[in-house]
Structure 1
Amino acid sequence: MIKAGIIGGAGYTAGELLRLLINHPEVEVAFVHSTSNAGAPVSDVHEGLVGETDLTFASDYDLSACDVLFLCQGHGFSRKFWEENEMPAGLKVVDLAQDYRDESDGYVYGLPEVKRDAVKACTRLANPGCFATAIQLALLPLAAAGKLDGEVHVTGITGSTGAGVKPGSTTHFSWRNNNMSVYKAFEHQHLKEIKQTLSALQGGKEPEISFIPVRGDFARGIFVMADITTDMSIEEAVKLYKDFYADAAFTHVSDRPVDLKQVVNTNKCVISLEKHGNKLLILSAIDNLLKGASGQAVQNMNLMFGLPEKTGLALKPSAF
């Protein structure tokens, strides 16, 4: 059994990660660390796990007691964590923050659709961001084919869980419900990792991406709408995407329009394409907490330990 440790166990991503790991046939959870909840049952915080685990939050941790460590704290925490802790030989690390997404310090950027072989061989993995995952999966085939040569317009709508478990003025129910708003227009932090991947696929040429993120009035999921100008026919575009994702475990190109409920509670990304005049519209949907965070982290862990990619990730969408 793979022994897993979790640092920062009280947030949304840690809760989803625990749900996956305690039901994973090859994993045993060694510890779940949380300073603020030390000694409390995990199910007191993650109430959906009532009856599924007797784990309690640990006040301390022994990194040598686990084979893989998941870092689920906020951005900036991971670098500080490794300044204060020594990494045991042989430990594999999956970092869900953005600290190492630039692939510094020996980390591999873990987007399996383009980095599968590198993920299999690595010991330090930087898990992609949620918007970054949805947008990259929408654009990877175009970049790989050298067809991402003009401005790309992207609008992405995210659920309130994307802002984390700590309450804020823009996550409060009475404000978020029946409401929408734009934030970080053209300046979202995930643009850096998006351009990093797409540039590498097209010989170092950085794509021009105009991205407008939107806060949605729902709890979870990301729905991305991207368009480019192209002379490709819809038949050519669909073939390009289906060929590119033919071997992808969780990314699927649908012949029908995608909607959010097809992916919520799954590790899937579902993509659909439309052609309007000279515009190609790419729709991409994921669950921000699963394919955009914890599900992808488990997918990467499976690859790192030589397990089938889908192990522990057979999840049914919340379609109704």
Structure 2
Amino acid sequence: MTKSIITVGIVGGAGYTAGELLRLLLHHPQATIGAVVSTTQAGLPVHSVHDDLLGDTDLTFASALRGDEDVVFLCLGHGNSREWLLKTDLPARTKIIDLSNDFRLAADRQAGGREFVYGLPELNRAAIRAADSVANPGCFASAIQLALLPLAEAGLLREAVHVSAITGSTGAGRGLAETTGYTWRTGNISTYKTFTHQHLGEIGETLVGLQPDFGQPIRFIPYRGNFTRGIFASVYTTCELSVLEVQNLYSDYYRDAPFTLVSEKEIHLKQVVNTNKCLLHVAKHDDQVLITSTLDNLLKGASGQAVQNMNLMFGLEETMGLGIKASYF
């Protein structure tokens, strides 16, 4: 059922993902923002933290939700969303979209009397429309899964999958650490969590769900980049199809996906930064199919996808409030 105006609450309102949600929802034609909850910033203007919103809103941070929210976005640190849900008396009618990793794996999807649906629209659009609780995918997980869904659905993943992907500093969150500081990042690059990244679990579950006999390793090397936002992933594996057959497979799979687009030309990061798009490019090198995938880690990899899920959950046009321009120059 379509609701005319959706009252939104945001919990964990001081972080990067909350800031992106505010920027999107302040201009969403069917949403109004109720409470922006932050226990550390309660009583202060929202623009005192998200200072680009000066002049856009007079909201102040709250210490608690109002209680009349139609949907609550949880922008808490990993491990905190489940704890918040279990100790909060949230009305059953209130929908939840969680941006942490607390409910992404199948074994973790039940909590507080709720059943979370994995919120990758290109995979679970129908289930998201019917859901009252959604677990938003991880940023790397979104880019890598979108690169692999057509192959998995066709049962074509027969060998190990190799992934090399780089992300900007905002992927590490707002908290200060040596590897997020300007002096460390500038002119620098490094790997981290090689072959052990936390998003591998949700990627593996999705691929097995589409191709039950998939049992090959996903060898993932993540990189920290010396830029602020965006993910660029190179994904390759053995495939017997011709390049034309693979291109047609991808074009058919994403024919009705408004934000995931298959490019005939090679792609680059500036095409997607500040948008909710994921761009894909497919090529063949000998027996290897190479899929490059790029998206904005804070939008299609987080807050933009969360708004996309909200639109689906409330029967709105999927693209509503997400027609934003790439920061190309």
For the superposition of Structure 1 and Structure 2, which TM-score range results when normalised by the shorter chain? over 0.9
Coordinate RMSD, CA, aligned:
0.9
Q: Which residue of 1 aligns with 2:41?
A: 37
Count how many residue pairs are aligned between Structure 1 and Structure 2: 319
Q: How does 1:13-92 map to 2 (within 5 A)?
A: 13-62=17-66, 64-92=67-95
Structure 2 CA distance, aligned partners of 1:294 and 1:60? 21
Structure 1 CA distance, aligned partners of 2:86 and 2:318? 32
Report which stretch shifted further, 172-181 or 83-92.
83-92
| Letter of the 1:17 counterpart | L
Pairing 1:2–2:6 present? yes
8 Å Cα contact 2:247/2:282 also seen in 1 = yes
8 Å Cα contact 1:198/1:206 also seen in 2 = no
Could you give the per-residue CA deviations for residues 13-39 of structure 1, whole angstroms, max 9, x where no partner exists? 000000001100000001100111111
Could you give the per-residue CA deviations for residues 298-319 of structure 1, whole angstroms, max 9, x where no partner exists? 0000000000000000011111
Per the alignment, in what secondary structure is the counterpart of residue 273 of structure 1? Answer: strand
Per-residue deviation at 1:203?
A: 2.2
**Identity %, equivalent residues:** 56
Unaligned runs of 5+ in 2: none
Per-residue deviation at 1:205?
A: 2.9
Q: Which residue of 2 aligns with 1:214?
A: 223
| Letter of the 1:205 counterpart | F
Structure 1 CA distance, aligned partners of 2:215 and 2:81? 28
8 Å Cα contact 2:157/2:214 also seen in 1 = no
Could you give the per-residue CA deviations for residues 110-149 of structure 1, whole angstroms, max 9, x where no partner exists? 0000100000000010000000000000000000011111
Per-residue deviation at 1:204?
A: 5.2
Per-residue deviation at 1:273?
A: 1.1
| Letter of the 1:49 counterpart | L
Structure 1 CA distance, aligned partners of 2:216 and 2:105? 17
Pairing 1:254–2:263 present? yes
| Letter of the 1:14 counterpart | A
What TM-score, normalized to structure 2?
Answer: 0.96
Q: Which residue of 1 aligns with 2:155?
A: 146
Per-residue deviation at 1:87?
A: 2.4
Pairing 1:273–2:282 present? yes
Per-residue deviation at 1:238?
A: 0.3
Cα distance change, pair 259–212 in 1 and its aligned pair in 2 (3 A): same
Could you give the per-residue CA deviations for residues 242-293 of structure 1, whole angstroms, max 9, x where no partner exists? 0000000100000000100000000000000111111111100000000000
Per-residue deviation at 1:61?
A: 2.1
Per the alignment, in what secondary structure is the counterpart of residue 170 of structure 1? Answer: helix
| Letter of the 1:171 counterpart | T
Q: 1:181 aligns with which of 190, 199, 211?
A: 190
Pairing 1:226–2:235 present? yes
Q: How does 1:305-320 map to 2 (within 5 A)?
A: 305-320=314-329
Structure 1 stretches of 4+ moved >3 Å: none
Q: Which residue of 2 aligns with 1:190?
A: 199
Cα distance change, pair 22–117 in 1 and its aligned pair in 2 (3 A): same
8 Å Cα contact 1:41/1:54 also seen in 2 = yes
| Letter of the 1:201 counterpart | L
